[in-house]
């Protein structure tokens, strides 16, 4: 709904009516109701109880965001209201009040109100939650103002607060406090939120079935009767399934399939130039990556241009910095480590002993192939490298527990503000980053950028963060990613693929 400030003033019932008017006057009368969207999912889901999962990978966030909702959400580059109607910052910028949408209920009938919001954030930010809450570190407390408003109390001014609350992420997807208290194990497999869809059944290794929420707060939505997420880890299988119509839509990272779909007149290719990347993390607490020279040698051994041309077939660009041009925050003058095999060999000679390690990769064709490419490049400069394969749903556990030397990960898109991702990925003040690196140089830069309202100054600081990441060879980031979805042409109204998440709340089937 575009005029959400008006909605904040007039309240829930009139907002619903306004939504219906907008739908009827914006050409939406052509939208068709009914049908079940068949979605080809890359991997098994890692569960939906925030404290048990500890991280929602992108594969899990896609259905989670259809069931649970955030206070705000990004639609393209704009922040729009969801369970929150507006955010008003205090004059001293040390707190902000979020007015909540009224009349909303969780799927189990529990009222959505200030108590639910306070419970959600209090539960996640508790010292022993086990969840990395560094992204929310400026929040000292979330307080109830009244039933329909909460106050976020801040340790210092925080420019990115609303952007942080709009990120569809484990930290912000709000579940029913009743269900989480009464049956936390059941919630892990059958989450209960306020979203447009409800979980019907999760059959491990096969599918997750969602059905329409008949009492959804936004008038007219959802259009679909349901969404079925078929678990199809093999990219070839997913592609053939969408070509045959067995699956209607699927994310795709296989360059050959992407280029083939682009030429196929019977398929639709949806592309989003992201600000994220596929990365390979070094565990800084495990040999040989406790030595910065080894980390740098690995980075210098990788021919990223060859990877872009042969593996990605031109569908992604070589990374020349931490933040891509698509993010709007790139650093054109950054000195970023790149391919230099002579330098890699010199660093290894300086180390003065054999370097041996294992790359942990996801057990699917694309990840196996990329791991093999990295193995060949690193072996070419004199390293002894093995490959270990794990299922994608288990790779989250590998990263969270530090059970790896070098591991595949995703450096995701952020919303409109770099503070969120950079803090989550690189700060050590609110949790342990997956790479377990020393953040002594980075944390002061993030702290200064967080409180500033000067866009130019903040960009300078983030470029210093990028330089520190490169100087210390914190991880390997070969290419920025473009995200692709392949679908049947009758799948309509798919929004921009932010964070590689396919949002289905307003999707409809034209058949």
Cβ atoms 182, 119 nearer than 8 A: no
Residue whose pair of structure tokens reads 């119509």 in the numeric block:
245
Please give the pLDDT value at position 250. Answer: 96
Beta strands in 195-348 (DSSP E): 197-203, 207-212, 226-231, 249-251, 268-282, 317-318
Which ranges of 210-340 does DSSP label H, i.e. alpha helix?
A: 235-244, 255-263, 292-301, 304-306
Measured CA to CA in angstroms, residue 204 lies from 44, 246, 306 at distances of 7, 19, 38
Between CA 392 and CA 248 the distance in angstroms is: 22
Q: What is the dihedral of CA 364, 367, 370, 374, to 10 degrees?
A: -120
Residue whose pair of structure tokens reads 């450096």 in the numeric block:
411
Please give the pLDDT value at position 224. Answer: 98
Preceding omega of 222 cis (within 30 degrees of 0): yes
Between CA 344 and CA 350 the distance in angstroms is: 10
Residue ranges of domains in the chain, CATH in brackets: 4-15+32-229+488-509 (3.40.190.10), 274-482 (3.10.105.10)
Half-sphere exposure of 303 (CA within 13 A, CB side): 14
Phi, psi of 384 (to 5 degrees): -105, 110
Please give the pLDDT value at position 5. Answer: 38
Residue whose pair of structure tokens reads 């034209």 in the numeric block:
510
Please give the pLDDT value at position 411. Answer: 83
Cβ atoms 465, 171 nearer than 8 A: no
Tokens of 228: 């079925």
User: Can you list the residues of the chain whose pLDDT is less than 70?
Assistant: 1-29, 414-415
Instruction: List Cβ neighbours of 439 (8 Å cut-off, separation of 6 or more).
Output: 426, 427, 428, 429, 433
Beta strands in 78-158 (DSSP E): 78-81, 84-89, 95-100, 139-146, 149-154
Cβ atoms 409, 281 nearer than 8 A: yes
């Amino acid at each position: 709904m575009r005029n959400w400030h008006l909605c904040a003033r007039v309240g829930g019932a009139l907002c619903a009516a306004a939504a219906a008017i907008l739908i009827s006057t914006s050409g939406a009368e052509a939208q068709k109701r009914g049908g079940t969207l068949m979605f080809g999912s890359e991997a098994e889901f890692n569960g939906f109880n925030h404290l048990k999962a500890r991280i929602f990978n992108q594969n899990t966030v896609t259905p989670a965001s259809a069931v649970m909702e955030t206070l705000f959400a990004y639609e393209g580059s704009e922040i729009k209201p969801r369970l929150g109607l507006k955010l008003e910052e205090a004059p001293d910028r040390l707190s902000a009040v979020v007015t909540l949408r009224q009349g909303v209920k969780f799927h189990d009938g529990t009222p959505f109100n200030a108590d639910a919001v306070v419970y959600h954030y209090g539960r996640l930010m508790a010292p022993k939650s086990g969840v990395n809450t560094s992204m929310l570190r400026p929040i000292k407390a979330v307080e109830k103002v009244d039933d329909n408003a909460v106050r976020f109390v801040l340790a210092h001014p925080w420019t990115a607060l609303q952007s942080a609350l709009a990120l569809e992420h484990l930290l912000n997807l709000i579940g029913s406090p009743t269900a989480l208290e009464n049956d936390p194990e059941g919630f892990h497999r059958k989450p209960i939120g306020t979203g447009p869809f409800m979980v019907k059944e999760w059959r491990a290794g096969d599918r997750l079935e969602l059905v329409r929420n008949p009492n959804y707060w936004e008038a007219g939505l959802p259009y679909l009767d349901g969404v079925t997420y078929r678990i199809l880890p093999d990219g070839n299988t997913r592609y053939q399934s969408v070509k045959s119509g067995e699956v209607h839509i699927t994310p795709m990272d296989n360059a050959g399939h992407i280029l083939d779909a682009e030429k196929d007149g019977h398929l639709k290719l949806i592309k989003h130039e992201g600000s994220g990347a596929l990365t390979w993390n070094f565990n800084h607490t495990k040999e040989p990556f406790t030595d910065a020279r080894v980390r740098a040698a690995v980075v210098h051994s990788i021919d990223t241009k060859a990877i872009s041309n042969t593996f990605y077939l031109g569908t992604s660009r070589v990374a020349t910095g931490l933040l891509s041009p698509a993010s709007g925050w790139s650093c054109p003058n950054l000195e970023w480590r790149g391919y230099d095999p002579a330098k890699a060999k010199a660093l290894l000679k300086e180390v003065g002993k054999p370097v041996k390690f294992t790359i942990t990769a996801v057990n699917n064709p694309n990840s196996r192939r990329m791991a093999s490419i990295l193995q060949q490049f690193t072996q070419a400069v004199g390293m002894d490298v093995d490959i270990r394969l794990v299922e994608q749903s288990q790779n989250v556990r590998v990263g969270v527990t530090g059970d790896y030397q070098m591991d595949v990960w995703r450096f995701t898109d952020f919303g409109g503000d770099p503070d969120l991702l950079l803090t989550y990925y690189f700060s050590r003040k609110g949790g342990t980053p997956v790479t377990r690196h020393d953040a002594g140089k980075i944390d002061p830069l993030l702290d200064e950028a967080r409180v500033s309202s000067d866009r130019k100054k903040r960009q300078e600081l983030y470029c210093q963060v990028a330089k520190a990441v490169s100087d210390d060879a914190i991880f390997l980031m070969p290419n920025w990613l473009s995200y692709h979805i392949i679908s049947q042409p009758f799948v309509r109204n798919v929004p921009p693929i932010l964070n590689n998440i396919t949002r289905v709340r307003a999707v409809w089937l034209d058949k």
